[in-house]
Structures are given as C-alpha cells and as structure tokens.
A = this chain, B = another copy of it.
C-alpha cells in the first residue's frame, strides 16, 4: 500500500531480489552470501579472488551454479585447499571485513600506474554509469559497480550489496580475461577500507564514487597510491587522495 497526503493507493513497486548463495569450495561449504541472483558465477569467482583463494581463471577446474538451490560448487585446479586455507579464511575473513587486518597487510604494494583522467571524462563516466543501472531505476534498492577506462565502461554489475557488485565485476574480468591493471573502478556505494583494498589489490589506480569515503579508506588510498574521487554529482567532485591523476579541463 502507498500512502501520501492525497490518499491511499495500491503498491506496484518492483522490489530488488535477494537470495542466499552458498559457495562450496572443493566439496566443503565456505560461505553463504546474500546477493542479487544474477551473475552468480562471476560473484563466486570474484569473491574467491578477493579473498585470495584463487589468483586466475586457470585456478578453477570447474564451477557449477545451482540457481534454484543457491549453490555455487567450485573445484580448484591445484590440489584441494588444505585445512590451513579454510582456517585462514574462517579466522580472517569472518564477519564483516576482518580479512584485511591480517598478516597479509605487509604485502600491500603501491599502485604505480601512470593512468590519468580528466575532469570532463569523470563526469561523462559517471553519467554513463548511471544510465547502466536498470535494477536501481526500477527498485531503488541495489548497488552497481563497473570497471572502466577513461573512455567508457568495460564491465558492469549490480547487486544488493556493494561488495558483491564489485566482486561480480572482478569475477567477470577473471572469467573473460579482462585486465584490471591501470583501469578505473566506479561504484555507487560508499568507499570503505575494504572497497579501497579490493581495488588496490588489482593494481587499479583510480576509484570513483557518487558517495562518501571513510577516513581509513582515504588514508589507505593515500598510502597505496590510489586516486580517490567521492561525491561525484552534477558538475562537482571531491578528490581525496593522489589528485595528480586528475587533469582539470573545464571551462
């Protein structure tokens, strides 16, 4: 039912879909994600890649998606992950975002790409990105993310979760052999430390959002050499870190 000051009416809103996806890795249950039930193979691949459990497409021997049951069965090409991998995953990746405060932190590398983008290119990317969000337009309830270069969008995905949307993009890139290095990520969601680290781990030098960053994400972007743009709305944008990659070409 919809209520307004003019009265009541029937509610015909489309509502964003949400489904559980359980990832079973080498016959062992790894995690259950709540997600939008599209591109589940990309989500599974991107998630495993983000968690460091696979590095490349060749690391996956098979991936079977059971959409009805919400299960992704992934078998890795190399020997089955040992107990250690599951243990590491469970202790460090458990809950909401622990994985990055682990020993792996020491291995972070600065993103050194010479990629640059102009003010006008950012505005044009943001405009095209928004046009690509059919589910959002219908329901107002999903996030979207895309891999781009300065000329346009290369890989796009939507999900009710901003992490999932990004993992779907990375999974698609893995599946289709699309290189991420030196490119640009644009996301509808806030840039938290986890999002920033996912981006930096793929050697992506620029991340753009319509929304706000957190202070930890700004600090990490600064340290890791990532150019971070937030609040890209209308003709405005804020650059929070490594602004040398953005050339001003307005007026």
Q: Which residues of B contact A235 (CB under 8 A)?
A: 4-5
Count of chain copies: 2
What is the CB-to-nearest-CB distance from A4 to chain B, in angstroms, rounded to a whole number? 5
Instruction: Give the contact-size bracket for chain A.
Output: 35 or more
Q: Chain B CB within 10 Å — which of A1, A90, A248 has the most?
A: A1
Contact, CB under 8 Å: B212 / A141: yes
Contact, CB under 8 Å: A98 / B214: no
What is the CB-to-nearest-CB distance from A137 to chain B, in angstroms, rounded to a whole number? 12
Contact, CB under 8 Å: B214 / A160: yes
What is the CB-to-nearest-CB distance from A200 to chain B, in angstroms, rounded to a whole number? 16
**New A-B contacts (12) at CB < 8 Å, excluding given A3-B119, A20-B101, A34-B193:** A1-B238, A1-B239, A3-B239, A5-B251, A17-B215, A18-B214, A18-B215, A20-B97, A32-B94, A93-B95, A96-B161, A160-B214
What is the CB-to-nearest-CB distance from A202 to chain B, in angstroms, rounded to a whole number? 20
Contact, CB under 8 Å: B160 / A3: no
- Beta-carbon nearest neighbor of A123 in chain B: B5
- Beta-carbon nearest neighbor of A23 in chain B: B95
- Beta-carbon nearest neighbor of A164 in chain B: B96
Q: A139–B212 Cα gap in the complex (Å)?
A: 7
Contact, CB under 8 Å: A250 / B215: no
Quick check: is A19 within 8 A (CB to CB) of the other chain?
Answer: yes
Q: Which residues of B contact A139 (CB under 8 A)?
A: 212
Known A-B contacts A101-B20, A248-B8; the reply to A213 vs B15 at CB < 8 A is: yes
Contacts of A183-214 to chain B: CB distance below 8 A: 190, 192-194, 211-214
Q: A119–B22 Cα gap in the complex (Å)?
A: 40
Q: Which residues of B contact A251 (CB under 8 A)?
A: 5-7
Q: Which residues of B contact A13 (CB under 8 A)?
A: 231, 238
Contacts of A202-243 to chain B: CB distance below 8 A: 211-218, 231, 235-240, 243
Quick check: is A59 within 8 A (CB to CB) of the other chain?
Answer: no
The interface bits of chain A over 153-169 (1 if a CB of B lies within 8 angstroms of the residue's CB, else 0) are 00000001101100000
**B31, B217, B250: which contacts A98 (Cβ < 8 A)?**
B31
Q: Which residues of B contact A33 (CB under 8 A)?
A: 95-98
Q: Which residues of B contact A109 (CB under 8 A)?
A: none
Q: A236–B235 Cα gap in the complex (Å)?
A: 29
Quick check: is A56 within 8 A (CB to CB) of the other chain?
Answer: no
Quick check: is A140 within 8 A (CB to CB) of the other chain?
Answer: yes
